[in-house]
Structure 1
Amino acid sequence: MIQSYKKNPALAESYDSILIGSGMGSLTTAAILAKEGQKVLLLERHYTAGGFTHIFKRKGFEWDVGIHYIGEVQRENAVIKKLFDYISDAQLKWADMGDVYDKVIIGNKEYDFVKGVQNFKDKMLGYFPDEKKAIDQYVDLVFKAIKTSRKFYMDKALPPIMSKLFGARMRKPFYHFSDKTTDSVLKSITDNEELIKVLSGQYGDYGLPPKQSSFVMHAAVARHYFAGGSFPIGGSSEIVKTIDKVIEKAGGTILISAEVDTVVIENNKAIGVKMKDGKTFLAKNIISGAGVMTTYNKLIPEKIAEKHQLMQQLQTVKRSVSHACLYIGLDGSPEDLNLPKTNYWIYPDKIDHDTAIDNYVNDLNADFPVVYISFPSAKDPDWSNRYPGKSTIDIITLLPYGGFKNWDGTRWMKRGAEYDELKEKIAKRLLEVLYKHLPQTKGKIEHHELSTPLTTQHFINYDEGEIYGLDHTPKRFRQRFLQPRTPIKNFYLTGQDVVTAGVAAALFSGVITTSAMTGKNIIKKVMKG
């Protein structure tokens, strides 16, 4: 049954724009279009809106599925802060996580990532006193890479003729950095393997280890958090709540339990969408935020996909990693349990990130290549008002989709005893890691449940449960089709595949997509606002 994010929506037969999916890219695109006076309809196949920004509740707890920390929202003039304010009418509020946002743990050694560029450099120098030159060079290269990205992404919004004339020049400086792997850049400034391992210790934020990832992806994450991390006050459901009001004000609607079957295309022009229940909605523009793989494989009629060789385009990119997340509910407030706000990144000792992943992919009983622990209830100052005397923890690790293929096609929550046993085995191993680093949590757990790649597949509609859309390899950034415009008239893409992984990038994709659609300088409006 189709229902609204709000009860009893007044549905129209036609809209200015229809958006498929309600993740961060779609929400941003919809809110910006609403502010441009458009009546928009967002169609979400699940019973909850928000994509990776949604929450779920169970056994008297709630968990944030994909938001663990956001950078750049404490600096008043930062683009990310301005953008969030623009699409939420400044109703979305943020809590600072404090001086130490990430802690990289390798064996028994801890390395704190502290906010403030100079503070970060000084801290790293304290750990690696002989590496001053390398640390300075590293920060310098991060900023240089990010500086080139502005024109690269601007090119994606340009009309085709303008891109033909000026695009190559706009993209060239970016390719200088994107063509290199994170590992090759770091090895060009230092041969200290431990320093390389520490500096690339946030690779879990985009899912690819240093020898495979493009340096621009790494630089984007590192730069994003130099000013520290923040968490939405009231939890990540506040993101949808505040943006929904902006969409609603312009007569738009977010529909949940509303699955799109296909995009309706006539004479190579998108004119609407046909729903799984047979209903059709018409619009002047159709925008997919469902990810390029899902969009081209499932939502575009086969003949049209063949005509434009869309499947051949998909051969040039790969799906990103899949993961497991252990959601934990504890008895005791974050203060009682002395839970930190800082994220923990835990890695095996005496082995580089790439080798650790290879070992694990070949044998799931090998050491976890990365364990990320986040403490959302400690980060949210409003948490204890909603859930007094309770706490939550999220623990994430990589988990290849291949190990779950046997259960493909089974129903969520009804996949059988063998599946549940495998989940419990992984959960127990992750709990051991937690108890080692936070022994005070032992005996305090009231509920735990593990999501697998099949859970992500079910909720986000990514075929192999990939968490970051497409892999961020050097090759990915050379693919010109990863932009808002498609070969189909009035049909656009938004979301992380258009930019890069993560909430902030998906947010920015909304700017690029709406700029391409309207021909307006949206970022100028945002920065003024």
Structure 2
Amino acid sequence: MGKSVVVNKPNKALKPSTIRIGTRYRANRLNGPYDAVIIGSGIGGLTTAACLSKAGYKVLVLEQHYTAGGYTHSYARNGYEWDVGVHYIGDMGASHTLGRRLFDYITDGKLEWAPMDENYDRFFLGDKVVNLRAGREGLRHSLLAAFPEEQDAIDRYLALLGKVADGMQWYTLSKLSPALAGPLVSRGLKTVLPDCFNRPTYEVLRELTDNEELIGAITGQWGDCGVTPKQSSFMVHALIAKHYVYGGFYPVGGASEIAKTIIPVVQAGGGDVLTYADVHEILVEKGKVVGVRMADGHDIRAPLVVSNAGVINTFERLLPETEAQKLGYPRNREHITPSMPHIGLYIGLKGTPEELGLPRTNFWIYPSADHDGNVARFLENPESEPFPVVYISFPAAKDPDYQNRWPGTSTIEIVAPTTWEMFKPWQGSTWGKRGEEYDALKAGITEQLMEILYEKLPQLRDKVDYVETSTPLSTAWFCRYEQGELYGLDHTPERFEQRWLKPKTDLPGLYLTGQDILTCGVVGAMIGGLITTLSIRGLRGAGLAKQIFVG
């Protein structure tokens, strides 16, 4: 790994200190009364906050981390900067797309985007390499170049993507319907959605082709939702594939620019985004939500509370147990599962991306095209089987402003799935103080993943200056996902049949937002934030709905 590599051993000298967005919480800094309190500053919470602020609401966003942004935040250490979740975003190249319109709305057009290489994703399926190129014809030609005998299946697949995208608007709007209309809405959806909409991805694709390697290539982005083809809903697969048809984009100035450009919109409405703001409990009085209680014992009153903390956190940790039971949560909980936990490597190198030969292309590295088999074998024996997927991203190469902030350096990020059981013995321990056995486990994983990097980019051997490794425990510590899950709830067909996963809960005054009420990903969670706003606003939000959905 090179003589100068430092493997993550946090101490005071390595304390995250350079990228802090938001105002630090103090009870005497509150400027109420507030019309709404939002728990969590992920993109879903920030979107809801910005949209409500523009509608005249005074909104307070409470974030327990030291910086705002949730999985869209960045951090810097030892002269390098990394994002933690914004590896690339689709549909940002044209102002008419839904995602771009919404980003422009919540940032007042202040967020800029840089395109990745035309070949934005590269799949290593065992010995076979498949390069995805931007554009509908680019995607088609990419698949045809690797599988020339499968033209009919590829064309039929591309047609299905369009059908699912057309149906998704109806599914999204169904989240606004009242509970009493649930049966009627469900019947209506069945008439407008294609038959493939919520079937298992592999099942749908197997009807198009029996070429397992082609199926493996088509589903090469399964890591973007964290669920393998035989377990995932075709809806989320199709949305991800369609989302990146015109390539990948990266925020100019890094991922932290997302929160940095949204917060002024919230502040312009009289609200604020506070960090180190740990919400202990959602307050319920006389059958309705009346605010939140902070970890320091201070109560913040508001008629609306919007939780962006995730469905499981909301109902199991923030709501009083009796209220969760009244809402039927124990029964609902049987139909949802947390997504897979992950390992993250944050790598710093001396030299620019050009000097080091770093691409603006993501690498997806698989043992074979059998994604479900790869995961099953890994879960059965994680210590000896290869990682089922290793994702490598090059943020310093993607961001044209990076050299202005950190001249003469580069960064790489590696993400790989893991098991919670491997790290469970240290559950509840303090970040940076988990002992030698834990450090040794991390060092072994780090070495394994670094060798995969060197295999693909051998010129980097002995060029690495710094490596920091995060585990599911890091995610639990900083982002409050207790088992280190990256994508909230698993994106299975059963999850998308849950009518209760919508913005408005049956407890007056309590709303949900973010990825759990719609889909994962920055744009999925952001649209979740929009839907929450429309649910709160009712008919008064018709103008916003038309502006974003229609343009």
- TM bucket normalised to smaller: over 0.9
Q: Distance in 2 between matches of 1:68 and 1:499?
A: 20
1:189 is paired with a residue of what secondary structure? coil
2:545 to 519, 523, 527: 523
Q: Distance in 2 between matches of 1:264 and 1:424?
A: 43
* 1:6 positional shift: 3.4
C-alpha contact (below 8 Å) 1:297/1:311 kept by paired residues: no
What residue is the counterpart of 1:436 in the other structure?
A: 455
Taking the TM superposition and a 5 Å limit, the aligned residue runs for 1:360-399 are 360-364=378-382, 365-399=384-418
* 1:462 positional shift: 1.1
C-alpha contact (below 8 Å) 2:21/2:67 kept by paired residues: no
What residue is the counterpart of 1:358 in the other structure?
A: 376
What residue is the counterpart of 1:207 in the other structure?
A: 226
What residue is the counterpart of 2:115 in the other structure?
A: 96
C-alpha contact (below 8 Å) 1:178/1:477 kept by paired residues: no
Which digits, 9 at most, give the CA deviation of each residue in 1:456-513, with x for residues without a partner? 1111111111110000111111011100011100100001000011111000001110
C-alpha contact (below 8 Å) 1:197/1:353 kept by paired residues: yes
Amino acid paired to 2:260: K
Taking the TM superposition and a 5 Å limit, the aligned residue runs for 1:148-159 are 148-159=167-178
Which digits, 9 at most, give the CA deviation of each residue in 1:369-392, with x for residues without a partner? 101000000000000011111000
Q: Distance in 1 between matches of 2:480 and 2:122?
A: 32
C-alpha contact (below 8 Å) 2:222/2:237 kept by paired residues: yes
* 1:177 positional shift: 2.6
C-alpha RMSD of the superposition:
1.6
Q: Distance in 2 between matches of 1:158 and 1:478?
A: 15
* 1:311 positional shift: 2.0
Taking the TM superposition and a 5 Å limit, the aligned residue runs for 1:240-279 are 240-279=259-298
Structure 1 residues not aligned, in runs of 5+: none
1:14 and 2:33 matched: yes
What residue is the counterpart of 2:491 in the other structure?
A: 472
Q: Distance in 2 between matches of 1:434 and 1:306?
A: 48
1:231 to 225, 250, 253: 250
Q: 1:109 to 1:165 in 2, by over 3 A?
A: closer
* 1:178 positional shift: 3.8
Q: Distance in 1 between matches of 2:435 and 2:193?
A: 48
1:488 and 2:507 matched: yes
C-alpha contact (below 8 Å) 2:72/2:83 kept by paired residues: yes
Q: Distance in 1 between matches of 2:505 and 2:190?
A: 19
Q: Distance in 1 between matches of 2:448 and 2:183?
A: 53
Q: Distance in 1 between matches of 2:44 and 2:282?
A: 18
1:449 is paired with a residue of what secondary structure? strand
Q: Distance in 1 between matches of 2:54 and 2:133?
A: 37
2:516 is paired with a residue of what secondary structure? coil
Count of paired positions: 526
* 1:159 positional shift: 3.6
1:26 is paired with a residue of what secondary structure? helix
1:454 and 2:473 matched: yes
Q: Distance in 1 between matches of 2:36 and 2:480?
A: 22
1:5 and 2:22 matched: yes
1:31 to 37, 50, 66: 50
What residue is the counterpart of 1:499 in the other structure?
A: 518
* 1:107 positional shift: 2.3
Amino acid paired to 1:504: V
Q: Distance in 2 between matches of 1:97 and 1:325?
A: 21
1:473 is paired with a residue of what secondary structure? coil
Q: 1:225 to 1:76 in 2, by over 3 A?
A: same
Q: 1:450 to 1:189 in 2, by over 3 A?
A: same
Q: Distance in 1 between matches of 2:21 and 2:88?
A: 28
Q: Distance in 2 between matches of 1:175 and 1:152?
A: 11
* 1:528 positional shift: 7.5
* 1:4 positional shift: 8.4
Task: Indicate the larger mover: 174-183 or 141-150.
Answer: 174-183
What residue is the counterpart of 1:296 in the other structure?
A: 315
What residue is the counterpart of 1:327 in the other structure?
A: 346
Q: Distance in 2 between matches of 1:515 and 1:219?
A: 25
Q: Distance in 1 between matches of 2:186 and 2:292?
A: 32
Which digits, 9 at most, give the CA deviation of each residue in 1:196-253, with x for residues without a partner? 1100000000011111111111001000000110000000000000000100111111
1:464 is paired with a residue of what secondary structure? coil
Taking the TM superposition and a 5 Å limit, the aligned residue runs for 1:297-316 are 297-316=316-335
Q: Distance in 2 between matches of 1:74 and 1:245?
A: 24
Q: Distance in 1 between matches of 2:290 and 2:450?
A: 50
Q: Distance in 1 between matches of 2:118 and 2:194?
A: 33
Structure 2 residues not aligned, in runs of 5+: 1-19
C-alpha contact (below 8 Å) 1:92/1:232 kept by paired residues: yes
1:176 to 165, 176, 195: 195
Q: Distance in 2 between matches of 1:504 and 1:515?
A: 16
Q: 1:247 to 1:163 in 2, by over 3 A?
A: same
Q: Distance in 2 between matches of 1:153 and 1:275?
A: 33
What is the TM-score normalised by the length of structure 1?
Answer: 0.97
What residue is the counterpart of 2:12 in the other structure?
A: none
Taking the TM superposition and a 5 Å limit, the aligned residue runs for 1:188-199 are 188-199=207-218
Q: Distance in 1 between matches of 2:444 and 2:193?
A: 44
Amino acid paired to 2:278: E
What is the TM-score normalised by the length of structure 2?
Answer: 0.93
Amino acid paired to 2:468: E
* 1:172 positional shift: 4.9
* 1:164 positional shift: 5.5
Q: 1:450 to 1:172 in 2, by over 3 A?
A: farther
1:243 is paired with a residue of what secondary structure? helix
1:124 to 143, 147, 153: 143
* 1:525 positional shift: 3.0
1:110 and 2:129 matched: yes
What residue is the counterpart of 2:6 in the other structure?
A: none
2:312 is paired with a residue of what secondary structure? helix
